């Protein structure tokens, strides 16, 4: 039987140019062809953990990469130079020098032992924070812009020249993250902030703060003032007695043309909760961090859409109290008889459907807070400024990603995606119910059934 001939490995040829600066390469240094100067520079940066200001040219230095140390280090990483070989305390000088010297002589680079020694499955590798932070930085740099080839030296002025004072005055720095913040910590911080806002909103609902439906009250009286969230109002009057708010069929109201006049209601003894909850939702929106970044026109449009936010707030409050229909902080609740269910089933559904949907997905306070902010950050509202649309879209995407991460962590990767879809469907339920509510009130306004209606109410019910 003929003997199998061993396969001969082709010896890797000696590199001709440095992957960093383009000059003649001295061999393979730290897994990449480089010159002696760039090798020394890379080693010095890794050992000393030096930090450089960010490049003023956005990492696109095409003059002389050696003059911009930030770009020079990035090209070292993009070219394949491995900081782990330098930074690892287990690696001694003799191994590195022998690797470099053998590479200069044209032999095969001895990097297999280094790769095996720092295998991700090695326990020492997993527990060494220095190696972990180095890997994070490598991934960040390699995911940045594609590597640009070194260009010939030019006499053009280079703003990244270390001799320039502006080079050191740059506030934006590229640094290694010594203690990277875990994503769970960032999520907890965001949720903690939203929970504090929600707590302040519920505190405002049970306070003595009410808006009076005086003639001429408009949305302009709200959007430029500071938010009432966090103000020290007195608690709600404890003399309030829980009442059952009896609903009437919409068709009966329209047929009999029953006139509604909210201006005659004494707010000190009884609250018109649908109107008051809109005012509380406006104060919630004004307390959001991005609100003051918006244009005045966009502010008016955003708080004008607070009706859906108020419906969502009252529904979750009712759900959290174990009620099956809309319930308010003073103990009042909506009631109806069989006639309402037969003649106007939409009225009964308006006060029950969203609560039932929340109970089906077992919505908790964190999911509710994130979903509420997603509802508020509606970038498709008519009339928003283009740059404000971008702000709302960015915040909405951030909250959606945070909600997905939390749902997966709470419900598991198997059931999490299905629950996430169901939770997002609550937005559609709230939107449809609010659209029906607006259309009903607009019909009543057109028929003249509302007396002494304020511009504030007209804006709320006519908003998108």
Q: What is the predicted pLDDT for the residue at 317?
A: 95
Decide if pLDDT at 96 tops 80.
no
Decide if pLDDT at 217 tops 80.
yes
Give the residue among 445, 437, 406, 430 at the shortest CA–CA distance from 190. 406
How far apart CA 233 and CA 209 sit, in angstroms, is 7
Helix (H, G, I), strand (E, B) or coil at 53: strand
How far apart CA 441 and CA 433 sit, in angstroms, is 13
Q: Could you tell me if 334 and 355 are in contact, meaning their C-beta atoms sit under 8 angstroms apart?
A: no
How far apart CA 49 and CA 439 sit, in angstroms, is 64
Mean pLDDT computed over every residue of the chain: 76
Q: What is the predicted pLDDT for the residue at 16?
A: 79
Residue given tokens 């480089």 in the structure block? 34
| Distance between first and last Cα of the chain | 85
Q: What is the predicted pLDDT for the residue at 234?
A: 87
List the chain domain ranges.
27-174, 185-462
Decide if pLDDT at 1 tops 60.
no
Decide if pLDDT at 145 tops 50.
no
Task: Return the structure tokens found at 339.
Answer: 């006639």
Q: What is the predicted pLDDT for the residue at 51?
A: 76
Q: What is the predicted pLDDT for the residue at 241?
A: 58
Q: What is the predicted pLDDT for the residue at 162?
A: 47
Q: What is the predicted pLDDT for the residue at 201?
A: 92
- Report the range of poorest mean pLDDT among 15-29, 84-98, 367-381: 84-98
How far apart CA 287 and CA 55 sit, in angstroms, is 37
Q: What is the band of 261 on the pLDDT scale with cuts at 50, 70, 90? A: low
* Cα dihedral across residues 19, 20, 21, 25: positive or negative: negative
How far apart CA 122 and CA 183 sit, in angstroms, is 24
Decide if pLDDT at 137 tops 80.
no
Q: What is the pLDDT of residues 319-362, one digit of tens each?
A: 999 999 999 988 888 888 887 778 778 888 999 999 999 999 99
Query: Around 194, how many Cα atoms within 13 Å sit in the side-chain half-sphere?
Result: 21
Q: What is the pLDDT of residues 244-255, one digit of tens each?
A: 676 666 667 777
Q: What is the mean pLDDT of residues 297-322?
A: 94
Q: What is the mean pLDDT of residues 209-234?
A: 85
Query: What are the DSSP E strand ranges found in 385-445?
Result: none
Q: What is the mean pLDDT of residues 179-187?
A: 57
In the chain, the percentage of residues whose pLDDT exceeds 70 is 67
Q: Which helix (H) or strand (E) holds 174?
A: strand 173-174
Pick the CATH number of 185-462 from 1.20.810.10, 1.10.10.60, 1.10.565.10, 3.30.720.110: 1.10.565.10
Q: Does domain 27-174 have CATH number 3.40.50.1980?
A: no
């Amino acid at each position: 039987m003929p003997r199998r001939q061993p396969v001969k490995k082709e010896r890797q040829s000696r590199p001709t140019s440095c992957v960093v600066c383009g000059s003649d390469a001295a061999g393979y240094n730290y897994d990449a062809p480089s010159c002696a100067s760039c090798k020394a520079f890379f080693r010095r940066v890794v050992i000393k953990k030096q930090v450089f200001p960010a490049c003023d040219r956005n990492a696109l230095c095409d003059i002389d990469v050696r003059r911009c140390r930030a770009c020079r280090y990035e090209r070292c990483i993009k070219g394949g130079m491995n900081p782990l070989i330098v930074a690892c305390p287990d690696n001694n000088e003799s191994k590195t020098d022998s690797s470099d010297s053998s590479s200069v002589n044209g032999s095969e680079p001895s990097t297999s032992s280094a790769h095996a020694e720092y295998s991700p499955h090695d326990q020492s590798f997993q527990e060494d924070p220095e190696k972990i932070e180095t890997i994070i930085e490598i991934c960040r740099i390699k995911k940045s812009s594609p590597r640009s080839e070194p260009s010939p030296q030019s006499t053009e002025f280079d703003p990244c020249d270390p001799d320039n004072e502006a080079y050191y005055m740059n506030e934006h720095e590229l640094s290694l993250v010594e203690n990277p913040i875990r994503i769970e910590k960032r999520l907890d911080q965001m949720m903690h902030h939203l929970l504090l806002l929600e707590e302040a909103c519920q505190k405002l609902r049970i306070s003595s703060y009410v808006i009076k439906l005086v003639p001429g009250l408009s949305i302009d009286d709200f959007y430029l003032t500071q938010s009432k969230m966090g103000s020290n109002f007195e608690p709600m009057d404890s003399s309030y007695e829980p009442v059952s708010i009896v609903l009437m069929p919409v068709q009966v109201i329209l047929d009999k043309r029953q006139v509604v006049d909210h201006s005659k209601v004494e707010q000190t003894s009884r609250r018109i909760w649908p109107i008051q909850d809109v005012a509380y939702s406006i104060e919630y929106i004004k307390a959001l961090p991005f609100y003051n970044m918006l244009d005045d026109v966009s502010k008016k449009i955003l708080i004008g859409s607070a009706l859906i936010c108020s419906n969502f707030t009252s529904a979750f409050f009712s759900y959290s109290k174990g009620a099956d229909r809309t319930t308010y902080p003073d103990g009042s609740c909506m009631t109806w008889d069989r006639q309402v269910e037969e003649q106007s089933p939409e009225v009964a559904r308006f006060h029950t459907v969203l609560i039932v949907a929340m109970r089906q997905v077992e919505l908790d306070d964190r999911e509710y807070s994130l979903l509420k902010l997603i509802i508020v950050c509606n970038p498709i509202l008519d009339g928003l400024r283009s740059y404000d649309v971008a702000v709302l879209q960015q915040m909405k995407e951030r909250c959606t990603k945070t909600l997905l991460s939390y749902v997966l962590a709470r419900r598991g990767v198997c059931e999490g995606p299905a629950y996430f879809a169901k939770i997002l469907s609550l937005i559609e339920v709230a939107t449809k119910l609010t659209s029906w509510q607006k259309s009903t009130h607009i019909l009543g306004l057109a028929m003249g059934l509302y007396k002494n209606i304020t511009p504030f109410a007209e804006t709320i019910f006519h908003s998108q």
